[in-house]
Structure 1
Amino acid sequence: MSNKATPVQSDGEKTGTVDRKLLEILVCPLTKATLKYDPEAQELISRAANLAYPIRDGVPIMLPSEARQLED
């Protein structure tokens, strides 16, 4: 038995490795604005905060300290 955590899977429609239903409820923790999923970069983009939140092993890391500042 593996100790490695795996992302929760549901029967909902998938967008890459992130469940679309999860994307519908996630918002930027700073601005509460909706996020856009970038499957190529594996990031959730907040245009309102100008930040990109990483997705690691299928888990969105919604900490501003972990987010990447977007270039203008």
Structure 2
Amino acid sequence: MPTKPRPPSAERILFGQRLRAERHAQGLTLEDVAESADMNWSYIAQVERGTRNIGIDNMAALAAALDVSLALLLSKVDG
């Protein structure tokens, strides 16, 4: 019997929200970030929506593409 997929964690949702907010704050498109991070834009869109479970290496690559710390993208508040 197949297992049911887990719902997205609060941390996954938070990372996606912070990623999108930072991307928008910098005026970047999904394609801009995808090119810089060497990823597919549709993968990044899924990460932003919280539908894709992302590994730490990809998190770090996205943070680097935005020139921010990974800690910033994982924080609950600005600052």
**TM-score, normalization: structure 2?**
0.26
Whichever structure has more helix as a proportion of its residues is 2
Whichever structure has more strand as a proportion of its residues is 1
Higher relative contact order (CA 8 A, sep 6+): 2
